[in-house]
């Protein structure tokens, strides 16, 4: 059980691990409030990947990883996850013009 330092590497290896054996892969999230530490773990009983952080901004990254795993579980391990990452969805959202009344 080695901690992976890079978030992008953790996501890539986690998705590969899930795609190789989706029936036995588990995803675990542990948060210790007293330490302010968040630990993410993905394992299939043969290989274990862990990522540890104490940054609050990594919570949004964890939500994106959750969405990736939900998509892989619902649609199957062969689905293209580029549509889940949200890069295309940000461009498609309309921008708000102001806080005034609707006309």
Instruction: Give 3-state DSSP helix, strand, coil % of the chain, rounded to 5.
Output: 40, 20, 40
Q: Is the model more confident about 51 or about 80? A: 51
pTM of the model: 0.74
Average pLDDT value for residue range 49-61:
90
Check if the beta carbon of residue 71 is closer than 8 Å to that of residue 86: no
- Would you state the structure tokens that stand for residue 101, as one six-digit string? 């009344």
Radius of gyration of the chain (CA): 17
Average pLDDT value for residue range 16-24:
91
Give the confidence band of 43 by pLDDT, cuts at 50, 70, 90: very high
Q: What pLDDT is stored for residue 4 in this prediction?
A: 93
Task: Please give the domain boundaries of the chain with CATH numbers for all domains.
Answer: 2-80 (3.30.720.10)
- Would you state the structure tokens that stand for residue 71, as one six-digit string? 């998509």
CA atoms lying within 13 Å on the CB side of residue 44: 15
The total of other beta-carbon atoms located within 10 Å of residue 74's CB is: 8
Q: What pLDDT is stored for residue 89 in this prediction?
A: 45
């Amino acid at each position: 059980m080695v901690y992976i330092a890079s978030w992008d590497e953790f996501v890539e290896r986690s998705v590969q691990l899930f795609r190789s054996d989706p029936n036995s892969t588990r995803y675990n999230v542990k948060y210790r409030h007293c330490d302010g530490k968040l630990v993410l773990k993905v394992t299939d009983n043969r290989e274990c990947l862990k990522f540890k952080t104490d940054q609050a901004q990594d919570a949004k990254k964890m939500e994106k990883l959750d969405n990736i795993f939900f998509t892989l579980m619902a649609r199957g391990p062969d689905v293209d996850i580029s549509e889940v990452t949200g890069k295309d969805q940000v461009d498609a959202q309309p921008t708000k013009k102001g806080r005034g009344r609707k006309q």
